[in-house]
Amino acid sequence: MNDVVEKNKINNFEGLAKTIQETNTYFLNKAQQQVNTALTIRNWLIGFYIVEYEQNGNDRATYGTGLLKVLAKRLLEKGIKSLQERNLYLCRDFYQAYPQILQSVTAKLYIADFQLFEKLQTASAKLLLSEPDERISQVITHLSFSHFIELLKADAGPKRRFYEEQAIKNNWPVKELKRAIDSLLYERTGLSRDGISTLQAFKLATKELPEAVFRNTYLLEFLGLEDKAPFTESDLEERIITNLQQFLLELGRGFCFEHRQRRITFGNKHYRIDLVFYHRILKCHVLLDLKIGEFDHSDAGQMNMYLNYYKENESHNGDNPPVGIILCSGKNEALVKYATMGLPQQVFVSKYLVNLPSERELQKIVDEEKLK
């Protein structure tokens, strides 16, 4: 015990300043967490009151669909500037999406302290009296209302729970949660042959590792190819070029477009690389070969030839060896493994989807992957 006291003893001025700084930061964070939790519960209750009024208010027909606009104006007259019409809609949506908030220990304490029990309808009162839900307690204490605004964009059920768990586990700020949802991390995890590696790739996206940059599945529904069936490789390439900005966003950060149909020649025979990019983080060329059908072992050999050529003739001082992506409509994992094993250059085989699968289709893919 004396050793611990001696170790933490403040014996110089800088130690004093550092200790005060750490203490200040810790309790400011605690205070902010308390504020966030209180605001979340306040917004939930506002949503509850609105829904209750819409269902049971004696004069609700007077306001109809314009209720929240009129309510926001009346609250402003009462000096409440933060509850504008959009915020009231969010509060209502939040209550409807998370009725189980009342099962959190924190919410129970706040509501009991504010003596709100008698204002809650029977269904809500039953939730208040039910056993605490540990999961929802973690959600409400770890996430701010700004997090919930982003979570409302995700479909209810497994998808929203997935983002809740990942946000808590990884301590995501709101910006990171938004990025995960916008980049369809849930769908990619389900479509990947290894959901864990997909999550790791998301976390490592800023590191200089090709495995953390290239995805197992690319979602190209923005190309609008479903209205052009059957389509050719030329159609696919043309749509990509037309929608190049969205395609670059789908590829991920760091990709810079260089060439389309880059020609290389051996003797009198010409070959063309569909798309060429330079990756500013990996510091290497990325060669992309488009395939309408399923991956074939000959595709790997052709890509390896392209990479060898680029390494010898196009690389500059400071460049890392080029990397290849074969983008196809389907692939056999075993064939990919043996076709790319032992190649001197890195070749990634990725699948593209021109339509985002439905929740049922996605669940089927996930279940099938579990059986492998």
Share of the chain above pLDDT 70, in %: 76
Q: Return the domain boundaries, the chain.
A: 12-97, 210-357
**E-assigned strand segments in 69-132:** none
Look at residue 369 in the predicted model and tell me its pLDDT.
Answer: 43
Look at residue 93 in the predicted model and tell me its pLDDT.
Answer: 92
**E-assigned strand segments in 247-334:** 255-266, 269-279, 284-290, 323-328
Q: Which of 143-147, 194-198, 241-245 shows the lowest per-residue confidence on average (mean pLDDT)?
A: 194-198
Give me the CATH code for the 210-357 domain, please.
3.40.1350.10
pLDDT confidence tier of residue 274, bands split at 50, 70 and 90: very high
Nearest alpha carbon to residue 214 among 258, 260, 252:
252
Look at residue 102 in the predicted model and tell me its pLDDT.
Answer: 75
Look at residue 370 in the predicted model and tell me its pLDDT.
Answer: 44
Residue predicted with more confidence, 75 or 156: 75
The SS3 assignment for 10 reads coil
- Mean of the per-residue pLDDT values for the chain? 78
Look at residue 319 in the predicted model and tell me its pLDDT.
Answer: 87
Look at residue 305 in the predicted model and tell me its pLDDT.
Answer: 92
Q: Please, are residues 284 and 320 in contact by the beta-carbon 8 Å criterion? A: yes
Instruction: Report the pLDDT averaged over residues 192-200.
Output: 53
Q: Please, are residues 69 and 24 in contact by the beta-carbon 8 Å criterion? A: no
Look at residue 2 in the predicted model and tell me its pLDDT.
Answer: 47
Whether pLDDT at 229 is above 80: no
Look at residue 37 in the predicted model and tell me its pLDDT.
Answer: 82
pLDDT digits (tens, 9 = 90+) for 128-184: 555 556 788 788 888 888 899 999 988 878 888 888 888 888 888 888 888 788 777
Residue predicted with more confidence, 351 or 206: 351
pLDDT confidence tier of residue 18, bands split at 50, 70 and 90: confident
Looking at residue 357, the DSSP 8-state letter turns out to be P
Instruction: Report the pLDDT averaged over residues 214-235.
Output: 74
Nearest alpha carbon to residue 302 among 285, 326, 278:
326
**Distance of alpha carbon 159 from alpha carbon 359, whole angstroms:** 9
Instruction: Report the pLDDT averaged over residues 252-280.
Output: 89
CA torsion through residues 130, 133, 136, 141, sign: positive
Instruction: Report the pLDDT averaged over residues 194-202.
Output: 53
Instruction: Output the pTM of the full model.
Output: 0.52
Look at residue 4 in the predicted model and tell me its pLDDT.
Answer: 41
Whether pLDDT at 3 is above 60: no
Look at residue 207 in the predicted model and tell me its pLDDT.
Answer: 45
Token pair 């085989």: residue = 349
- Antiparallel, parallel or unpaired: β 269-279 and 284-290: antiparallel
Number of other residues whose CB lies within 10 A of the CB of residue 248? 16
Q: Please, are residues 163 and 177 in contact by the beta-carbon 8 Å criterion? A: yes
Q: Please, are residues 117 and 111 in contact by the beta-carbon 8 Å criterion? A: yes
Look at residue 285 in the predicted model and tell me its pLDDT.
Answer: 92
pLDDT confidence tier of residue 275, bands split at 50, 70 and 90: very high
Residue predicted with more confidence, 333 or 215: 333
Looking at residue 330, the DSSP 8-state letter turns out to be B
Whether pLDDT at 281 is above 70: yes
